[in-house]
Amino acid sequence: MSDPLILCCGEAVLDMVPATLVGGGAGFRPVPGGGALNCAVALARQGVAAGFVGALSSDPAGARLAAHMQAEGVSLELATRTDHPCPLALAQPIAGGTRFDLYDSGSAGALYAASDLPDPLPDSTRALVFGGISLIASPAAEAFETLARRGADTRLIWLDLNIRPGLVRAPERYRARLMRMAALADVVKVSDEDLCWLGPGALDDLRRLAPLVLHTRGEDGATAHWATQSLTLPAPRVQAVDTVGAGDIFNAAVLADLARSGLLAKPLDLPEPTLRAALAHGIRCASDSVTRPGADAPKEKETPCAP
């Protein structure tokens, strides 16, 4: 297994997704999930050496998540193993998206702390990815903010806000943390839903804080904002089956394209044609993934070529 080029820092969760039961009726089936896990697996499928930084439970659900990442080629050398239970998320489709009900009180992910952080980081690591539910509550949120601060001088910092409003209990504290981390980031990825939660002027605020802001807009494609410029690319028309994990796969695909171009470096300096190609690759991979249930990222050789 190659030393990790990109570390995905955050949660690994067992998602319970809607499924038809044997014999009929509606139920749920367990699938690996969580922003950091999804991104790491998607990177590995794109041929990029990726590692997971976060907590993994030793219970059967946690063992299932670990086995899934290892089978995909994700390094778990920096993961923390614990006897605390694996966090569970109940995912249910609703109008305009997916509702997540998280069950993580006292879980491995919720109790991840600064003392669990890898120190030092591997010399091979060029980028750190943060975001998702791991940034909502203490102590995990403070731990990952600490790691971002430690790495910001020498590694590319990618922040995907990926806000889950129903899980936020202290909105002002959470908002302040996101903005502090955006100020550390080289790239911030934000969705329409994120901007709605943050309120008026949020996109302008993020553009002032980060050199590059990527705004994903679902079936309308995505826009890159940098300096005084913006670039919008459309998404291909597909039959969406499940949008869970599409943002994580977009992150991984853009990062993979930059990694192959040797551009995971600070300060971030992306020629417009390079940024256009990376953004298009992210859109293609995310659009492909929503045509199948679950966060099912395409492999590099399977990535659709259509715009």
Catalytic residue numbers, as ranges: 248
In DSSP terms, which residues pair with 191 in a beta bridge? 216
Query: At residue 24, what are phi and psi to the nearest 5 degrees?
Result: 100, 165
Burial of 279 (0-12, 13-18, 19+ CB in 10 A): buried
Which residues share a beta bridge with 267? none
Alpha-carbon span 41 to 50, nearest angstrom: 8
Please state the three-class secondary structure of the chain as a single string: CCCCCEEEECCCEEEEEEEECCCCCEEEEEEEECHHHHHHHHHHHCCCCEEEECEEECCHHHHHHHHHHHHHCCECCCCEEECCCCCEEEEEEECCEEEEEEECCCCCCCCCCHHHCCCCCCCCCCEEEEEHHHHCCCCHHHHHHHHHHHHCCCCEEEEECCCCHHHCCCHHHHHHHHHHHHHHCCEEEEEHHHHHHHCCCHHHHHHHHCCEEEEECHHHCEEEEECCEEEEECCCCCCCCCCCCHHHHHHHHHHHHHHHCCCCCCCCCCCHHHHHHHHHHHHHHHHHHCCCCCCCCCCHHHCCCCC
Q: Which of 258, 79, 122 is nearest to 186 (CA)?
A: 258
Nearest-angstrom CA–CA distance, 32 and 62: 9
